[in-house]
Amino acid sequence: MAQSLYEQLVIQTQMNYSRYYGVYAQGGTPIKLTKKPPLPYDQQIKIFAQKVQEADHIIVGGASGLSAAGGGDFYYSATSSFKKAFKRYYDKYKINGAFAGMMNHRWASRGEYWGYLATFLHTTLHARVRQPYRDLQAILKGKDYFILTTNQDTQAIKAFPETKVAQIQGDHRFFQCSMQCTDDVWDATKKIDEIYDYLEEHDTTAIPDDMIPRCPHCGAEAFPWVRGYGNFLEGQRYQEQYQKISDDIEHHLHDQHVLFLELGVGRLTPMFIQEPFWALTNNLPGAYDVMVNRDYQFLPQQIEDKGTAIKGDLAKVLTDVRTTLGR
Ligand SMILES: [Zn+2]
């Protein structure tokens, strides 16, 4: 099958990423940036709102910063929300955030590891739709849009119709076979709730061995369907997600005004949102790219007249844009 335009752009960035890994790892980009100083914040917010109004189609790229801005801040350090949701595990191991727990090698048993894993998944699956996503709902109201997200936490699919969302880095609602014996992914939510209820009822960190979720085909342990641990299943569901964003881009190549929104893209994954959006903005006449990031303000020279890079708190930016739009 021929590669879609989106796939080509991802592959291009992946090659760039390997070549300039050091630059990215230090928080930089090998892409030549504009020398123009950024406009004042208030003006940038007005431009953001105006571009939303003008757009025929809006493609939102939601990355880690978008979930973190709304209080999903338990991934990378032992924040108060982490200590609360993972209390038994924090008290026992002083784990420094949800991802660090995934790498903890001191689990007493597989049952304890699974207790932790289910606690992690339960926390995200049962989280309410956070404020930045609610502001985004208001901003996109009445517009034609699509959401591409590298987040696995299901915030985007809770806030928007699933047909308009591609979760290309996995999804906490599904298990896969840890040994990748099958292309199937299957529902994880019921099992996660069962495990969580067991932990609560027994006030314990571990589940019995016979509760550990297993692959229905080969009996190996299940694993969450997420990238990041070296066994991400790029099977049918993955292809479907890729196809969704590829199709959406193809369908709107000839729109007069496509607006790209880069929300909270970190330096480790420029290949799925940031650089494809930059390339598309450069190539499509009438396209525009708004980038919002807490730490970086990167506006490529090539699109210096077709983009705005806002450095700031993503939650505040989205609230300010919503207010400006009067929605
Ligand atoms: Zn299997």
Residue 232 near residue 224 (C-beta atoms within 8 A): no
Report d(CA 20, CA 147) in Å as an integer.
28
Q: How far is the CA of 127 from the centre of ligand 1 (A)?
A: 29
pLDDT of residue 72: 84
Specify which residues 148 forms β-bridges with: 61, 166
Q: How far is the CA of 170 from the centre of ligand 1 (A)?
A: 18
Side-chain half-sphere of 225: how many Cα atoms within 13 Å?
26
> Which domains are seen in the chain, by residue range?
39-69+130-169+234-325 (3.40.50.1220), 80-126+174-226 (3.30.1600)
pLDDT of residue 191: 98
Q: How far is the CA of 14 from the centre of ligand 1 (A)?
A: 29
Report d(CA 215, CA 107) in Å as an integer.
22
SS3 208: coil
pTM of the complete model:
0.94
Residue 225 contacts by C-beta under 8 Å, 6 or more apart in sequence?
A: 170, 171, 174, 175, 176, 185, 188, 232, 233, 237
Q: Which element (helix H / strand E) includes 51?
A: helix 41-54
pLDDT of residue 1: 56
Q: How far is the CA of 222 from the centre of ligand 1 (A)?
A: 8
Cα–Cα nearest to 117, from 229, 236, 235, 265: 229
Q: How far is the CA of 150 from the centre of ligand 1 (A)?
A: 25
* φ, ψ (nearest 5 deg) of residue 147: -115, 120
Specify which residues 214 forms β-bridges with: 221
DSSP string, 152-179: -SSHHHHHS-GGGEEETTEEEEEEEETT
Q: How far is the CA of 4 from the centre of ligand 1 (A)?
A: 30
Q: How far is the CA of 176 from the centre of ligand 1 (A)?
A: 8
pLDDT of residue 260: 98
Give me the tens of pLDDT residue by residue for the chain, a chain 327 residues long: 578 999 999 999 999 899 999 999 899 999 999 999 999 999 999 999 999 999 999 999 999 999 888 888 899 899 999 999 999 999 999 999 999 999 988 999 999 999 999 999 999 999 999 999 999 999 999 999 999 999 999 999 999 999 999 999 999 999 999 999 999 999 999 999 999 999 999 999 999 999 999 999 999 999 999 998 999 999 999 999 999 999 999 999 999 999 999 999 988 788 999 999 999 999 999 999 999 999 999 999 999 999 999 999 999 999 999 999 999
